[in-house]
Amino acid sequence: MTDSSDIPESSGPAAADPDDPNVRELATIPAVEVITRSAVMLMSAAAEKLGLSDADPEESPHLDLDEARRLITALAGLVTASVEYLGPHAGPVRDGLKTLQLAFREASAAPDEPGHGPGEKYTGPVW
């Protein structure tokens, strides 16, 4: 068990130097940027879990369709809930989501019926 006295006081986000110009306070970041960054993180993680970063996705040591399904569904929920706030970012984010949904279908040995794939309860069927 870790005693709180074992944790250095200067660790974690609160330890950031406020005078460092590379550090931005969370309160100063526009919501659309937080949402977009979150979407990009979910997209990147899902692509990794689909093996898309490897030359042969089917042989990727990172291939995990169960994890990819969860990430794509979370991404679909985020995109659907926030699309009105994304402005010009909405199109590329939606395209990225659809690409991942189609890649998931292609990677599946037994693809889900249209409308039942990851995130499709939020986006509708993806063809």
**SS3 labels along the chain:** CCCHHHCCCCCCHHHCCCCCCCCCCHHHCCHHHHHHHHHHHHHHHHHHHCCCCCCCHHHCCCCCHHHHHHHHHHHHHHHHHHHHHCHHHHHHHHHHHHHHHHHHHHHCCCCCCCCCCCCHHHHCCCC
Chain segment 79-96, per-residue pLDDT in tens: 999 999 999 999 999 999
Among the listed residues 51, 60, 37, the one whose alpha carbon sits nearest the alpha carbon of residue 103: 51
Which residue has better confidence, 127 or 71? 71
Note the pTM of the prediction, 2 decimals. Answer: 0.79
Q: Give me the chain's average pLDDT, please.
A: 87
Chain segment 63-81, per-residue pLDDT in tens: 999 999 999 999 999 999 9
